[in-house]
Homo-oligomer: A and B are copies of this chain.
Amino acid sequence: MRPIRVAIWGFGAMGQGMAEMLLTKRGVDIVGVCDHDPTLVGRTVQDVLTQTVESLIPVTDDIDLMLNEVDPDIVLLCTDSFVSGVYEKIKKLLEKNINVITIAEEMVFPFQSHPALAKELDDLAKEKDVTVLGTGINPGFVMDFLAIALSGAMMDVEKMVITRKNSLNTFGLTVMEKYGIGETLEQYYERITNKQPIGHIGLNQSAHMIFSGVGLKPSKFEQQIEPILTQTKRKTKYATAKEGTLAGISLTGQGYIDEQLFLELHHPSQIEPDAQGVQTEDSIYLEGKPNVNMTIRPEIDGGLGTIAVCVNMIPHVMNAKPGLKTMLDLPVPRAILGDMRDMLETIE
């Protein structure tokens, strides 16, 4: 059986991490890489990755040419966060009968936020006999999938309280800018006023994935955003937050069933959390029969976790029935330590 053919579209930190991971795995080949960044185009994968890896695949900025030349089984799409950004790209891939995994946060559960586009992608994927999945560490794993999985050991659930207190230390420039690290409170309010995205994307998707997962229709879901202002200077490789400026963003959300609070989400993200005594962790408290009280300490690393979940879902997506799927539709992800092909049900 030939190796699984994977192409990566979007070769930033996440795409590069996936390439690094794929190069350590058996039964899978990177056959193409596409990115429009002029500092990357024309260079080989092994030239871009600082680690010692062997891959002479060149980065191209011509997606159509790449897809026609390399004929991938699946594309890992790592270019955008929003459905609006990836929608046309996913359509292009489906039209060519290519499976897609994207880390676009909104694609983890687009059925509530973008029902028409989600249906269109689902229909097209079914027509073309391929599968689309949105995933990542969060949304896609910690604050939704894992909470749902734990609820599977419960006869009844009365309330869910899910917290991810994470460090942004390991992230690069894109994330620092996305979170406004080092910006003033004035700049923060300017972003809010201009409806410019800031901080974590996908809390809404996590909430609706949970409700859908347990079979409930929320009567209301509300979100709040707060700046995390630092009291001392904090510094990482890619950003500095002076005293009084943004060290991160805190999101909270509440989902109600018939006016009763059922779901609480807490998601403060910042650089150097221990500068102010914050211990990072993922915690899931499910009240019901029985109660389940889980903590992961420190939190699962966001960057590595996203790379891993995305790559580890490749065989599941290739095995899946056609359509637009969520993490709740497919078998549980798992580390792939053997040959990736052993996990396939069929491959031509």
Contact = CB atoms under 8 A, between A and B. Distances in A.
Most chain B CB within 10 A, of A21, A145, A298, A334, is at A334
Q: Which 8 A-B pairs have the closest CB atoms?
A: A215-B338, A152-B333, A151-B335, A290-B301, A153-B305, A290-B304, A214-B337, A155-B308
A236 interface: no
B145 A332 contact: yes
Interface in A140-160: 141-142, 145-146, 148-157
A292 interface: yes
B295 A338 contact: no
Given A152-B332, A214-B335, 9 more contacts: A24-B155, A141-B153, A142-B153, A152-B334, A153-B333, A155-B304, A215-B338, A216-B337, A295-B296
Contacts of A251: none
Interface stretch (A46-54, A84-92, A126-134, A323-331): A323-331
Interface of A: 17, 21, 24, 137, 141-142, 145-146, 148-157, 213-217, 288-290, 292-298, 300-301, 304-305, 307-309, 311-313, 327-340, 342-343
Contact of A215 (B137, B149, B309, B336): B336
A335 B288 contact: yes
B338 A334 contact: no
Given A290-B305, A292-B300, A301-B290, A213 B149 contact: no
Nearest to A296: B294
Contacts of A339: 215
Contacts of A340: 215
A295 to B, nearest CB: 5
Contacts of A337: 156-157, 214-216
Nearest to A262: B337
A23 to B, nearest CB: 11
Nearest to A149: B332
A161 to B, nearest CB: 14
Given A335-B214, A338-B216, A290 B300 contact: yes
Q: Considering residues A21, A331, A342, which has the most beta carbons from chain B within 10 angstroms of its beta carbon?
A: A331
A283 to B, nearest CB: 10
A289 B216 CA distance: 35
Contact of A335 (B156, B296, B329, B338): B156
Contacts of A309: 152-153
19 contacts: A17-B155, A141-B153, A148-B332, A149-B149, A152-B312, A152-B334, A154-B304, A154-B335, A155-B307, A155-B308, A155-B335, A213-B334, A215-B342, A215-B343, A217-B338, A290-B301, A327-B332, A328-B334, A332-B332
